[in-house]
């Protein structure tokens, strides 16, 4: 098995995670979370989205969040943009990178962004042109790559078609979203092999939600196929408001523990990441979904209480 020497982790918790919280999280908490993730060494941190506040009120303060964070020059802070209106808002907020987000399922496309796949691609084409004129990098997402909450199975060819279009309009990276976490390893393998026939595997990222507990198994399957960019969410936060029952992405702590164990470099410091995980879990009044975070925080507490007793 040939594994990449280095993997880029794309932290999506402040966006994919917090968009799904029933109550909005205060702006200062979002800012502190992003600053803590920056301190942990994450190279890319999705900071929010410029979508309709009627659709996703949880992230309507993204401009304030971007204005409040301590940006590090070598860290990117992309935001989601669904259309030109979102692009104008992102431009006004001074972003250097955006992400457009389409789907491989027609029904999901309608539920999530209120248009069909081809209409969405036309919108993204305009957004990509405007981004190019303004020197803004664009990432492209495709949802429902391993299954749709409304349509069930999705053919890899449907994903490959959208990936090719996104690449053609200038997306530098294409993130494959298992939105509802129904993928299993052989399906994930077939997906990557099919999509990599149409776009270079080096530009693909794995965005696997962990609803069915398969995300790590799927990731270990796609790493030897050339996937070296993984989206993950601190503490396992998240889901999609338009995909009922979907839970968060593979937790950043779990992915990092796996990659550390495989000797794969990420530049991320587990200890500082754990502090970020504990911070957001306390703010949301819950324990982290991440098993690694729970185990490491427990042993950290035990060794601290051992120290104070001795
Ligand atoms: P629409 O209702 O068809 O939009 O929604 P519209 O163009 O007809 O405009 C209606 C109103 O919204 C107008 O305002 C517009 O100005 C306003 P009004 O005149 O009624 O006062 N509007 C906006 N306001 C602010 N920012 C904007 C914007 N656009 C229109 N950008 C729309 C279409 C795309 C806007 C809507 O469906 C939407 O915002 N959807 C976003 C849903 C979303 O954020 N979903 C979660 C992210 S995707 C995800 O989580 C999956 C992912 O993680 C990958 C995976 O896991 O698979 C990425
Ligand atoms: Mg997602």
CA of 232 to the centre of ligand 1 (A): 23
For residue 233, what is the domain's CATH number? 3.20.20.70
Q: Confirm or reject: Cβ of 101 under 6 Å from ligand 1.
A: yes
Average pLDDT for 227-243: 90
Catalytic residue check, 148: no
- CA pair distance 64, 250, nearest whole angstrom: 27
- CA pair distance 276, 235, nearest whole angstrom: 8
| C-alpha to C-alpha distances, 140 to 80, 103, 170, nearest whole angstrom | 9, 10, 9
Query: 174: how many CB neighbours lie within 10 A of its CB?
Result: 25
- 257-274 core/surface letters (b: 16 or more CB in 10 A; e: else): bbbeeeebebebebebbb
For residue range 109-129, what is the model confidence (pLDDT) as tens digits? 999 999 999 999 999 999 999
How many domains are contained in the chain? 1
CA of 254 to the centre of ligand 1 (A): 31
Which ligand number lies closest to the CA of residue 93? Answer: 1
266 assigned to some structural domain = yes
With the most atoms of ligand 1 within 8 angstroms of its CB, the residue from 50, 52, 159 to mutate is 52
Q: What phi and psi, each to the nearest 5 degrees, are found at residue 32?
A: -65, -35
203 assigned to some structural domain = yes
40 assigned to some structural domain = yes
2 assigned to some structural domain = no
CA of 120 to the centre of ligand 1 (A): 11
Maximum Cα interatomic distance, the chain, rounded to a whole number of Å:
66
3 assigned to some structural domain = no
For residue range 135-183, what is the model confidence (pLDDT) as tens digits? 999 999 999 999 999 999 999 999 999 999 999 999 999 999 999 999 9
243 assigned to some structural domain = yes
Closest-lying ligand 1 atom to the alpha carbon of residue 115:
3
Average pLDDT for 294-309: 85
Q: Confirm or reject: Cβ of 49 under 6 Å from ligand 1.
A: yes
- CA pair distance 273, 256, nearest whole angstrom: 10
62 assigned to some structural domain = yes
244 assigned to some structural domain = yes
* Structural domain of 120: 8-309
């Amino acid at each position: 098995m040939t594994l990449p020497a280095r993997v880029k982790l794309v932290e999506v918790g402040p966006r994919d995670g917090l968009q799904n919280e029933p109550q909005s999280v205060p702006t200062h908490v979002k800012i502190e979370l992003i600053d803590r993730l920056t301190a942990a060494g994450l190279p890319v941190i999705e900071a929010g989205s410029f979508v309709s506040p009627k659709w996703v009120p949880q992230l309507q303060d993204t401009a304030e969040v971007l204005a409040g964070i301590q940006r590090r020059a070598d860290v990117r802070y992309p935001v989601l943009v669904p259309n030109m209106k979102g692009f104008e808002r992102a431009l006004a907020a001074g972003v250097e990178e955006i992400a457009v987000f389409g789907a491989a399922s027609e029904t999901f496309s309608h539920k999530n962004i209120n248009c069909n796949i081809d209409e969405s691609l036309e919108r993204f084409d305009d957004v990509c042109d405007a981004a190019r004129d303004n020197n803004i990098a664009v990432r492209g997402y495709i949802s429902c790559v391993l299954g749709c909450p409304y349509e069930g199975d999705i053919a890899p060819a449907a994903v490959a078609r959208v990936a090719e279009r996104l690449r053609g309009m200038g997306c530098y990276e294409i993130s494959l979203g298992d939105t509802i976490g129904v993928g299993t390893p052989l399906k994930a393998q077939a997906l990557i092999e099919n999509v990599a026939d149409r776009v270079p595997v080096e530009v693909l990222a794995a965005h696997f939600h962990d609803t069915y507990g398969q995300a790590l198994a799927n990731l270990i399957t796609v790493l030897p196929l050339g996937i070296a960019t993984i989206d993950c969410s601190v503490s396992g936060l998240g889901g999609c408001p338009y995909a009922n029952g979907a839970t968060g992405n593979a937790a950043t702590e779990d992915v990092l523990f796996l990659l550390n164990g495989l000797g794969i470099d990420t530049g991320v410091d587990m200890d500082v990441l754990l502090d970020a995980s504990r911070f957001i879990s306390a703010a949301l009044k819950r324990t982290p979904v991440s098993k690694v975070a729970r185990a490491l925080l427990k042993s950290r507490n035990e060794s601290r209480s051992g120290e104070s007793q001795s």
